[in-house]
Structure 1
Amino acid sequence: MTGTSDAPLRVLCLTDSCDRPESELFIGLKAAGVDVDVMCNPKGRNYQRLVEQDLVVAPLALRGRFDKGGTAAIRRQLQSKPYDVIHAYNPRALACGLRASKGMDVRVVAYRGVIGNVGAMHPESWITFLHPRVDKIVCVADAIRDHLEGLGFPWSRLTADRLQRIYKGHDLTWYQTEPTDLQPLGVPEGAFVVCCTGRGVPRKGFDDLVRTALYLPEDVEVHYLLVGDVDRNETIRKEVAALPHPERVHFAGYRTDAPQLAAASDVIALPSKSQEGLPRAVIEAMAYAVPAVVTRVGGMPELVDDGVTGLVVPPCDEKALAEAILKLYRLSPEERRAMGAAGRQRISEHFHTSQTVRETVAMYQSLVDGKRRSR
């Protein structure tokens, strides 16, 4: 892969505490021949792995979109070699990267992982995604790309040629750890378990999920495993306390073994109401061959093949969500295993990290080739 003459593409990635897929993307780009440097938060879980791969050129922990020290550090790095592309993975990095690269001949790529909060009425958009020097916005799902294009402002630069969907890739080999024993969390042995992982914010739909218990027949015993800071959400706790069987709802709190908790469950559920991208919790559970129940929000219908790898229901519909859970409950263990296996295969074939690397390299190359033609 070439940037100018016979030199490799030179890319500076600006991020924060990058997750496993992002870290493996950087490693894969290097293996593909890209001269990739990374500035990221030294407190991140994968920071040392990137250091060991000789990818980190400087630690970077931006405090906001107007971080002067961080912007100066980025500019110093940009002056150290002739980069072809800056790839910023969050709005803070994008805003600071744009200011740091002012006056430089470098392409700017942004990353967008959720729907919402971008547009003319959002002032921060003008220093990030609507900035005139943003050449490409990589969207983690078709739904995000379509949403941005559909905003419909011809002067906003959110046009089809500047929007590209690249799925955030995973690898099944990352998910080999044994499922976690759920009994210490109060889950009875052999219970049918619906796991939900996420932040305890209203848009995640934990309230809709716990209320599905009200729609289930009396003879159907379903246990709910809620993972994340939702255990601190007093509204949800009151909802649970009002259920006929509150003892069937288990708050796990924040856990570092969330994928293994999902692996030990019968179903992964994510009843988001809005602003969803390509949720990692669902991908991780599917990689462990766990069927999914998700809402028709963001990129989730792109993940879950309705009726094949799980079930897709309308958002904010407790009854439809309950019916989906009941349908999976009524399946035989063999039928659920077949659905889970189909989900695992879908992750392997359509959301693999090698595909993310290939598409990202091709995108970089097209930007560099376009820069040459414009000269």
Structure 2
Amino acid sequence: MKFLFAGTSRENGGAEAHFVTLTRALATAGHTVEAVVHPGAPMAQALAGSAVRLHAGRFRNVFDLRGYRAIIAAARRLKPDWLVGNFGKEYWPLILVGHLLGIPVALFRHHLKPMNDLSARLVARCAQRFFAVSQYARRDYIEHGMPAERVQVLYNPVDMDQCRPDPAQRAALLQRLGLDESAIVMGCFGRLHAGKGIYTLLDAANAAMVQEPRLHCLWLGDGTDTQRLRDSIAASPFAERHHQLGWVADVAPYYNALSMLAFPSIATEAFGRTPVEAQACNVPVLCSDAFGIPETLQPGVTGLLLPPGDAVAWRDGILSLCNDARRRPMAAATRGFVLRHFSTLVIATEFVRRLGSPWS
């Protein structure tokens, strides 16, 4: 098949990671894949040098004619079987270009923020395929007016070559952090703001550190609460056991430093890419039992589900995974779980299968 993706976002979040990973996966599977991306944006940088041919394009909003010109020019040259989009500002442009040129359109949605009433009613009907990234997100979209029969679920793909266990990287990272092999390192990776549950996690981690002297916490990412978290760590009784490294462009190597990953979000989450990537690296996870997050793990087998915002429960969960006899069997089960449910090969194959007959 031939695919033309359009994604002119300049951000570097989960939707962007999905765009990059799925386009690469389809290209690796032998499909012809091209993409209209904002020049210099993280997605353009991530796809540079790959088998995905890039076209420069920009969309400020649905009325930006520059974006239409870029998509139409690329589509007329490639003659794709499908136009594919990940971002709301490009939904209607792709639908309009698809109808103009007679090309079917597949759209993904990664956020839970409701679309306006007109778009909620019509976007999934006007596109030939519309995908949510979790069952939770699908239910949310239907509750906000989308037709149930038009919304399918396809999970985020994870590159198993990029996210893989690497003992050498683990040793190097532990050395960089000034830790020895006996250290138990809990990671929290992503945007740092209160809605991500970082203060619950900080309280829980400090409480667990009272009982477990091997426990350290590695914080990667930035956000609106970066400085507040830094100040809270500095004022905590175990400040020297918290390692806040800031924003890192490629977090994949850092999963290897971890004994467990925490995803303690208290704000709504359509999915949760970080726990899946961690499990691909043989790292068990502690996740909030809410929203689309429970779909990212096998509870009790590859990690634990904990009540969001409950510092005592999170302390107990952390201490549970500090127990080598509990943690190591979970670590051994994680990568196989991801391989079966979220690997690029599985998701790309299922995506192509779901497309089926273009105009059905």
TM-score by length of 2: 0.84
Q: Which residue does 2:161 correspond to in 1?
A: 173
Q: Which residue does 2:328 correspond to in 1?
A: 337
- The partner residue of 2:305 within 298, 312, 318 is 312
- The partner residue of 1:88 within 69, 76, 85 is 85
Q: Which residue does 2:211 correspond to in 1?
A: 219
Q: Amino acid of the residue matched to residue 346 of structure 1? A: F
CA distance in 2, matches of 1:102, 1:200: 41
Matches within 5 A, 1:239-278: 239-278=232-271
Structure 2: runs of 5+ lacking an equivalent: none
CA distance in 2, matches of 1:342, 1:99: 45
CA contact under 8 A between 1:13 and 1:87: conserved in structure 2? yes
CA contact under 8 A between 1:61 and 1:70: conserved in structure 2? yes
CA distance in 2, matches of 1:231, 1:301: 26
Instruction: Please give the secondary structure, in 1, of the residue aligned with 2:113.
Output: coil
CA contact under 8 A between 1:231 and 1:252: conserved in structure 2? no
Matches within 5 A, 1:97-176: 97-101=94-98, 103-114=100-111, 116-120=112-116, 126=119, 130=123, 133-151=126-144, 153=145, 158-176=146-164
CA contact under 8 A between 2:282 and 2:333: conserved in structure 1? yes
TM-score by length of 1: 0.81
CA contact under 8 A between 2:34 and 2:53: conserved in structure 1? yes
Q: Which residue does 2:343 correspond to in 1?
A: 352
Larger-Rg structure: 1
Instruction: Please give the secondary structure, in 1, of the residue aligned with 2:279.
Output: helix
CA contact under 8 A between 2:156 and 2:342: conserved in structure 1? yes
Q: Which residue does 1:289 correspond to in 2?
A: 282
Q: Which residue does 1:46 correspond to in 2?
A: 46
Name the count of aligned residue pairs. 347
- The partner residue of 1:323 within 313, 316, 339 is 316
Structure 1: runs of 5+ lacking an equivalent: 1-8, 371-375
Residue by residue over 1:81-127, the C-alpha shift from the partner in whole angstroms, topping out at 9 and shown as x without a partner, is 6544321111233243234445443322211123x212446xxx739
Instruction: Please give the secondary structure, in 2, of the residue aligned with 1:182.
Output: helix
CA distance in 1, matches of 2:106, 2:154: 12
Instruction: Summarize the Cα distance change of 1:217–1:174 in structure 2 as closer, same or farther, 3 Å threshold.
Output: closer
Q: Kindly indicate whether residue 58 of structure 2 is the aligned counterpart of residue 67 of structure 1.
A: no
Cα deviation, residue 32, structure 1: 5.2
Matches within 5 A, 1:174-213: 174-176=162-164, 177=166, 178-179=169-170, 180-185=172-177, 187=179, 190-213=182-205
Q: Amino acid of the residue matched to residue 166 of structure 1? A: L
Cα deviation, residue 128, structure 1: 10
Larger helix proportion, structure 1 or 2? 2
Instruction: Summarize the Cα distance change of 1:312–1:95 in structure 2 as closer, same or farther, 3 Å threshold.
Output: same
CA distance in 1, matches of 2:131, 2:74: 23
Cα deviation, residue 323, structure 1: 1.3
CA distance in 1, matches of 2:188, 2:202: 10
CA contact under 8 A between 1:213 and 1:243: conserved in structure 2? no
Q: Amino acid of the residue matched to residue 223 of structure 1? A: H
CA distance in 1, matches of 2:159, 2:70: 33
Instruction: Please give the secondary structure, in 2, of the residue aligned with 1:200.
Output: coil
CA distance in 1, matches of 2:70, 2:201: 45
Q: Which residue does 1:362 correspond to in 2?
A: 353
Q: CA RMSD in A?
A: 2.9
